[in-house]
Amino acid sequence: MVYIRSNEEIEIIRKSALMVSATLTEVAKFLKPGITTLSIDKMAEAFIRDNGGVPSFKGYGGFPYSLCISVNEVVVHGMPGSHVLKDGDIISVDCGVFMNNYHGDSAYTFAVGEVKPEVLKLLRDTKESLYRGIAQAHDGNRIGDISFAVEDFTARQNGYGVVRELVGHGVGRKLHEDPQVPNFGRKGDGKKIRAGQVLAIEPMINLGVKEVYTLSDKWTVVTKDGKPSAHFEHTTAVRKDKGEPLSSFAPIEAAEKANAELNSAHYEAAMAH
């Protein structure tokens, strides 16, 4: 069942999606080496509930946390716990918020401290591929047009591995709705998309091979070769000429930049002593 949303519904979904963005902005301020992934989850859950939302992921299919927190070679569905972040890590934080009977869903991959240049490039390119996919999310196009745009930029132009087992999806009253939105495919393939649909478009791109496997906890998905993976996601409204992100990375990027500058100042002050 594919839903076409009214403009009123899309504005309600936007509120949920922007609450996800606000939560990821709090994560950006909070992140530093030495903290546990569980401490991030607890902070985010409190923030969501204090602002009138409910974490979409908590209890979903039995998942016990509010965020999926995936470090380095973990692709998605990483479970928060006692893992301590260290300088040079990358951390994908996937978040959903349920408000006013609709879900918002977005993910962002953060660099912790000094990260290798090729890994930073993976982050930039994965984010760029998301926007290329969103540009194809317009009325009359097909799902394959979105999929092709992501795969063409990441796999063909930059040689990355595009995860095939996990896909984007429709989002609305349910966290996962039809249609599925793969990150690989051919132009003109798949279901036709219509203005008013709302899609979670989410490239999951590996520095090495595309193959992944799931750990014994039945949730955590990791790269087969142990190389890092990046994940960016926007809740996106299908419009007449191009997709419109309902979530926003702008406040996250501003907080990320401020946090990096603050940590750099602290480091320099410590070295001066």
Mean predicted lDDT score pLDDT of the chain: 96
Reported as a pLDDT band with limits 50, 70 and 90, residue 34 is: very high
Please determine, for residue 269, whether its predicted confidence score (pLDDT) is greater than 80: no
Distance CA 266, CA 87 (A): 14
Please determine, for residue 214, whether its predicted confidence score (pLDDT) is greater than 90: yes
Stated pTM of the model = 0.96
Distance CA 101, CA 192 (A): 26
> Of 65-79, 171-185, 218-232, 250-264, which range is least confident?
250-264
Mean pLDDT throughout 32-38?
96
Q: What pLDDT is stored for residue 264 in this prediction?
A: 72
Domains of the chain as residue ranges with CATH:
7-272 (3.90.230.10)
> Of 104-113, 201-210, 259-268, which range is least confident?
259-268
Give tens-digit pLDDT for 120-152: 999 999 999 999 999 999 999 999 999 999 999
CA distances, 130 to each of 90, 124, 155, 230 (Å): 18, 10, 13, 11
Please determine, for residue 162, whether its predicted confidence score (pLDDT) is greater than 90: yes
Q: What pLDDT is stored for residue 267 in this prediction?
A: 65
Determine contact, residues 170/177, Cβ cutoff 8 Å. Answer: yes
Alpha helices by DSSP H, listed for the chain, are 7-30, 37-50, 117-135, 143-151, 250-272
Please determine, for residue 92, whether its predicted confidence score (pLDDT) is greater than 90: yes
Candidates 138, 191, 194, 188; CA nearest to 167 is 191
Q: What pLDDT is stored for residue 260 in this prediction?
A: 81
Mean pLDDT throughout 67-94?
97
Please determine, for residue 167, whether its predicted confidence score (pLDDT) is greater than 80: yes
